[in-house]
Chains A and B, each alone.
Chain A
Amino acid sequence: MSDLNNGISRRSVLKGAAVGGLGIAAGGSLLAGCGSGATGPLAYGARSVDAGPTAQNEALLAAYTAKTGNEVKYNATESNAFQNNLSQYLQGTPDDAFEWMAGYRMQFFAEQGLLADLTGVWDTIGDQYAESYKIASTGLDGKQYFVPRSWYPWGLHFRKSMFQELGLNADNVTNWDEFLKMLDGMKKKGLIGFAAGNKGGWEAMGTFDILNARINGYQFHVDLLAGREKWTDAKVTEVFTYWEQLIPYMNTNVLDLEWDGAMQLLLQKKAGSMLMGSWFGGNFKEQSEADYLDLSIIPFPEINPANGRDTIDAPIDGYCVAANGTNNEGGADFLKFAGDIEGVNAILGAKDANGLPIPMTSANKGQDTSSYDPFQKEQLAVMAEAKYITQFLDRDTRPDFAGPVVGPAIQSWFKNPKDIAKIQDTLQSQWDALPPLA
């Protein structure tokens, strides 16, 4: 109770004049919470306005309200805007529970005291999750601040029908030489081999991650992103040397296209393959069921036999409770439901506009994988092969480094790959210039 009051007074200072009305509203719901002793009405912040996730969230909220009688207010924000405003949002009057990402991005805000401790939730539903998910949900202080919802692997995507026409077999694209041979064959047929877009600045980070992990191994990759290795290392140069070999097989307008532009190349069968997170399968499905069923994924090929295909970027999305929310208890209660198989099944029961199920690879062990469609089963297989799981470059390193430094650096490499030595120098000097972590 006193914690909550502190939350309100801190807000009052920050929000100045506007706080009057908000404070009264917050006080009102607090009183209501105290009076009934129930977990009471709460607000949920979604970080997507797309049709699929909205339908899933609505199904989840409806199931929760039906079970507990608690009303949940639904606030949806477009994902980029949500991400850009998160600091302000969490320090202002946030929704009680909100959608966020696991790993460093969660730990960063947990460390600043902006996320509520969810250890109690994990005590209840923890046994429904594999240990790796618990680790990804744990803050630097050893407490859990996150409840996973879904995950998706980053792998090499292609269309089965195109592979068939080209006479290719996915089982024969397992190492770098075979991969280049495949790309070469596609190029000879007038196709783009490796669709890429990097106008958004983050898309190509996935390619860097996987090349670095394949060439230099998981440990080097993790150490590099944590600042324990140098960006000027010859090992990093090698990553870009390999990457440069792919340029002739890419579309020429990498810096014109965002991820969805690259996806269009694959969708329109202008490109033979693309490295991307499997989440874009939802966009294929929106296009047509046939396009979705044509989609296939394999692990990115091996480069260094010492590492094999042992690492994969598989970001986990899920939920947090905002410490400054008016109803932390209610938020935690909601996540207990959302993380439980009951909530997961409610999400899986959601239907898209055509009345078809919306595919989701849940983090919950209890999800019935026999109901998975073939594309989802392939995702599971890709995942099962990996020994090490990373989140994604912008989720595995400092936020003031990933977006403002690495993003532009890779863009300038695309402008002129010959500048690599200079780019590596500035990457390292900008890492060294970062403020010390509090």
Chain B
Amino acid sequence: MKLLLTLLFLSTSTIFAQSILKGRVVAKNGKPIYLANVYIEGTYDGSTTDSLGNFTFETNERGAKTIKASVVGRPLYSKPIELPYKELLIIQLQGSENRLQEVSIQAGALQANSSGKNTVMSPLDIVTTAGSMGNIISALSTLPGAQVAGENGRLMVHGGDASETQTYINGIRVAQPYTATPNEVPVRGRFSPMLFKGVNFSTGGYSAEFGNALSSILALSTENTIEQPETEVSLSSVGLGLGHTLQWGKNSLTFNSSYTNLKPYSKIITPDIRWTKPYENASGELIYRHQFKKGFLNIYGAYNFENMGLYQSDINYEEPIPLKKKSNNNYANITYSQDLGNRWAFHSGVGIGYLRDKLHYSDIYLPNDEKSLHLKGTIRKTWKNSIKSIWGIEYFDNNYKEEYHRQELAYSYGYHSKMTALFTETTFGLLPNLIGKIGLRGTTSNLQSKKTIEPRASLGYALNKYTQLSLAYGTFHQQAPSSLLKYDPQLGWLAAKHYIANYFYEKSGHLLRLEAYHKTYDNLIKYNSQTAGYDSQYDNNGNGKVKGFDVFYKNTGSVKNLQYWISYSYTDSKRDEANYPHTVTPSYVYKHSLFIVGKYWFTSLRSQLSLTNSIVSGRNYNDPNQTTFMNGHTKGYNNLSMSWSFLYSQQKIIHFSVSNVLGASPIYGYQYADRPNTQDIYDRRPIVPTAKRFVFLGYFWTISKNEKNNQLDNL
């Protein structure tokens, strides 16, 4: 019997003759790879490498087989092998797969996306940043390279003025992205931040897909997914809001409306303003989405009605001047994207805007309207080796009319611009850790005689997993801002060149971004009068130069529940434009600006405290009493804002925020009289914030079947 068993063992062991396979897994540079998974395809035979990269396992397989080795983050290794294999098997793995998304071009790019990587803030950060009051533009101003002028609330980038930034929604231009306000009252962005899943803010060197902006692009995108049904109600110290989402099948419809009236508020907060009609705003947004089998349709519409009246101080008049303004701003945007298969995709869109403003200023009546149309079509292709290309064509039509009425006097002026542009851009991998992007954009317009050709190029180099270096270059053109083009439609293209170098580091909660840039301007607009007007003489003989750098550091989670960022920008801008006699630093530029933003989550109180402190240096102003032009400097100032959000339940939130907690009294600049007084001195009036503080208290309630965990998005 023993013999039988021995025989049995012998026979089985010969039938399943096992051979031993030994080897090593190494990287290209010869370094051993730990925990690589080595196996013979389709069998159980395999092993994991030890810390020296060695593996050994037994196998019963014979003949031609395939050996595989897998490691996270590298392409799967696969090679034919003849078994049994007696020698030591050396497996050399290729470097990380050359995936373009691992290297990105950071120069000039600031992203606020929910995806996480290479992103400086999330959409939620926009609403929870103290001082932003839910305004996208204010939140962006805490980022490097961006400045928002306190007196007008508009976004200015890398030393450029507010007209040099264009706003896009889903790739379609928004001609009028701001709310209307009287002079010296800051405007707001018109769009609710939480409707957008992605905010791509460029500080320069941006893609050839965009044009007609000398400095910057703000590209907002909504998400291509069907929303879940819910209802949102908000009540606040300045108004009320209602939002509702319906969903059926592959469709969703969201509407959002709000009404703001500062009447009960103006008595307490802006006692210095003599309102005749306290600011009133009714606005709404609507999004319809439809998911096709291989396509997605998104219809976005927004309307904004504003009405206000007040007495405004003007140094040229003894008494404050009565001002009345009514504004209707409508915008619609339809985008459709389709997957054409084989990694081809088609995107197209139409944007229509209609703005009608009626302004009464003293005895002047100034109605204007602007009709804008944007058509765009693009084809995208992702090639096999991760090369990506885009081709596109677009058409912009802008029709602007303004009338001037003063007693018997009446005249009208404006422009009708028709612009066509073609563009293409390709991103390709040069090395596993080096990518390049080359783009070209050509534009022709009925107003400007010349065609423009704009080459753009950038490089991104990954030093390691956490660090990237990038460079960007581009030429950019734009038409004169509508505030000047309306007086002289023949004004030629303004031009700029950007040179940007960027360092980006991101590792476990730390993000450091450094950017240095140089920007040159040509053909800036000049005029020969004290203020730009109907009868001024205009030309394109201005120019300018900006150099500067930005530092941004963000930390998440080094201290539990604490997130903070520090952003510093240095801007050295010299321009010869407007009515400047020579090159100077313009009055809208802050040389130094520093933002410190902190958010702390008190778990036991279910509350988030958010603080934003901004320090800016003074700005230039021109004092006509002095012989040197633009020789005045305002004082720098410090502004601390705070907000407190309390999650009462998953669906209910209470939000309180205060701006300028410390009560600083900044002076943005001065308005000087057009003519000297009897002592031959030009009188002046400081331009100061309309309200020292803004205090906001709101209650937000979401009624959802899907039990959202919190409601912070409605702040």
Chains A and B bind each other:
no
Interface residues of A (CB under 8 A from B): none
Interface residues of B (CB under 8 A from A): none
